[in-house]
């Protein structure tokens, strides 16, 4: 059984949702960043971490990709054009949504108070709005990569949810409906309850 290190209100949620979508059992250790528990699995104390037997993996997207490849679910096969397109979408989401939200979080509560630059959040919100509009234009159906849910959908929805919590501007109706539908999936709801 897998062990997921991290709280539900963190990037660990992406890993738990991925495991729920795959139907794979896991145990959650709800460690917060830099806690003694988190430091046992990552020398920097960052979450999430995934324990698979004797191996410990870090970084939410790396963990998700590992699980998808290992179980052959939520992903296009490695070495295919479909996979290259999926990876391009994943990397774009990391750069254009996740990184912006993380920068806002750092300047809200992560960095020491004397290192925060609160005014940078206005520029980050502008960037996020522009990226969300672009994502909306790319969304042609129920899912980003075609007819079934894939890792980019989990990543995108998590970022859109994070944006709501961070009080970023509301996305357009199309993107809002997309994220709402994903939040209604049984696997999302099950991961939310852990």
The whole-number pLDDT of residue 35 equals: 96
pTM of the shown model: 0.96
Domains of the chain: 2-74 (3.40.30.10), 81-185 (1.20.1050.10)
Q: What angle do CA 62, 63, 67 make, to 5 degrees?
A: 120
- Dihedrals phi, psi of 152, to nearest 5 degrees: -60, -30
pLDDT of amino acid 174: 96
Segment 30-44 mean pLDDT: 95
pLDDT tens per residue, range 148-186: 999 999 999 999 999 999 999 999 999 999 999 999 999
Using pLDDT thresholds of 50, 70 and 90, give the confidence band for residue 194: confident
- The number of residues in the chain equals 194
Which tokens in the block code for residue 77?
């096969």
Per-residue DSSP letter, 112? -
Q: Biggest alpha carbon distance in the chain?
A: 48
Q: 57-106, pLDDT tens digit by residue?
A: 999 999 999 999 999 999 999 999 999 999 999 999 999 999 999 999 99
Peptide bond into 52 cis (omega under 30): no
Q: With 0-12 CB in 10 A as exposed, 13-18 as middle and 19+ as buried, what is 100?
A: buried
């Amino acid at each position: 059984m897998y062990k997921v290190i991290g709280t539900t209100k963190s990037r660990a949620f992406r890993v738990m949702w991925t495991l729920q979508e795959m139907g794979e059992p896991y145990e959650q250790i709800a460690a917060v960043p830099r806690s003694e528990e988190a430091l046992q699995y990552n020398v920097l104390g960052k979450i999430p971490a995934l324990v698979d037997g004797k191996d410990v993996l870090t970084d939410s997207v790396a963990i998700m990709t590992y699980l998808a490849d290992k179980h052959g679910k939520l992903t296009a096969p490695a070495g295919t054009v479909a996979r290259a397109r999926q990876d391009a979408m994943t990397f774009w989401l990391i750069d254009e949504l996740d990184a912006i939200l993380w920068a806002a979080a750092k300047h809200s509560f992560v960095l020491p108070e004397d290192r925060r630059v609160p005014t940078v959040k206005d520029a980050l919100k502008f960037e996020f709005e522009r990226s969300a509009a672009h994502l909306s234009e790319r969304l042609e159906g129920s899912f980003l990569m075609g007819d079934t849910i894939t890792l980019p959908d989990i990543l995108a929805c998590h970022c859109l949810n994070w944006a709501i919590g961070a009080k970023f501007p509301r996305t357009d109706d199309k993107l809002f409906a997309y994220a709402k539908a994903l939040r209604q999936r049984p696997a999302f709801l099950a991961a939310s309850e852990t």
